Amino acid sequence: MENNNKRLLTVSSSPHIRSSATVSDIMTDVVIALMPALIAGVWIFGYRAFVLTAVAVLSCFCFEYAFDYLVNGSYKKNRRKPSVCDCSFAVTGMLLAFSVPPTLPVWQLVVGCLFAMVIVKMLFGGIGRNFANPAVTARIFLFLAFSGAMTRWTFDGVASATPLAGGTANYLTLFLGTHAGCIGETSAAALIVGGLYLILRGVISWETPVFFVLAAAVLSSVFGIDPLFTVLSGGLLLGAIFMATDYTTSPLNFWGKAIFGAGCGILTVVFRKYSNNPEGVSFAILLLNILTPYIDRAVRPRAFGEAKRK
């Protein structure tokens, strides 16, 4: 017993147990939370909504897989897991598809996915390193590159203006989403269900979406715009629940999230009122993404027992 060569024991730094949470679980939860909006999109806009979403997810997968392989080397030879294993490509793909009109040509959406995955995400180092939300930035890219197709709205096969661009809608159609708009952003009900799921699962915290919505509502009442209309129309809820809560590009702490959310809400309403475009959610989120590190540093909470900062 004393002398036999027992195999070596593992030594490592504490803690020696871990929770079961993984990154891919979190991303799967987000995909689940996006399902109601996808179902609503297909119900409102027909099968093309599903085709575009599927194409976006698939091309995001391909672009990330290929980039990772070409830049970081063979998976087998380097004995590493492909970066797509974290499932975050699916979230980006779905969010991008959800923020384009259902009539967008497929190839334009694929170009958008290329932009999101390669330029915004992978070139900055992949998951956790991008400074801006890939879906938001790619949407802005598509909007600037293909303005015509990105603002061609139809509803029930007929050309129709979105409520923000002067189309008609009452609260019920806004809530259910039965009006012209992007694939996944019209149905407030479906988005709220998804958001509640994420909050209950502890994936996102309530601060960002709530402050986003509150700030937008308050500022639009100041401007004399119906606050409920502001919140329910356009991509505000999709942005507030799914895009502004992106971990990598939003602040860490309570006050940071509050400032981030409120900033997005205020800028959205300002853009909607004063810019040439009827919509401003993605521009607002992109601007606040860039400010995130500064917000984080400005409102860092005091550590337990930390002396007052001078």
Checking DSSP bridges between strand 158-159 and strand 154-155, what pairing results, if any?
Answer: antiparallel
Burial class (CB in 10 A: 0-12, 13-18, 19+), 157: exposed
- Tell me which of 1, 144, 158, 200 binds another protein, using CB under 8 A: 1
Judged by beta carbon, residue 76 or residue 302, the one nearer another protein is 302
- Tell me which of 159, 254, 290, 298 binds another protein, using CB under 8 A: 254
Q: How far is the CB of 152 from another protein (least distance, A)?
A: 36
Site string for another protein, 79-108 (x = CB under 8 A): --x----x-x--------------------
Q: How far is the CB of 24 from another protein (least distance, A)?
A: 9
Q: Which residues touch 139 (CB under 8 Å, ≥6 apart)?
A: 96, 99, 100, 112, 282
Q: How far is the CB of 70 from another protein (least distance, A)?
A: 18
Taking CB under 8 A as the rule, does residue 290 contact another protein?
no
User: Which secondary-structure segment (H or E) carries 130?
Assistant: none
**274-279: long-range contacts, CB 8 A cutoff, minimum separation 24:** 277/143, 278/162, 278/164, 278/165, 278/166, 278/234, 279/164, 279/234, 279/235
| Residues in region 32-71 near another protein by CB under 8 A | none
Q: Is the dihedral of CA 165, 170, 175, 180 positive or negative?
A: negative
Cβ–Cβ under 8 Å, residues 58 and 73: no
Judged by beta carbon, residue 188 or residue 285, the one nearer another protein is 285
Site string for another protein, 116-145 (x = CB under 8 A): ---------xxxxx----------------
Q: How far is the CB of 265 from another protein (least distance, A)?
A: 21
Stretch of 1-9, 193-201, 225-233, 276-284 contacting another protein, by CB under 8 A = 1-9
DSSP SS3 for 303? coil
| Residues in region 205-244 near another protein by CB under 8 A | none
Q: How far is the CB of 6 from another protein (least distance, A)?
A: 7
User: Which secondary-structure segment (H or E) carries 154?
Assistant: strand 154-155
Binding site for another protein (CB under 8 A): 1, 6-19, 21-23, 25-26, 81, 86, 88, 125-129, 247-248, 252-254, 296, 300-307
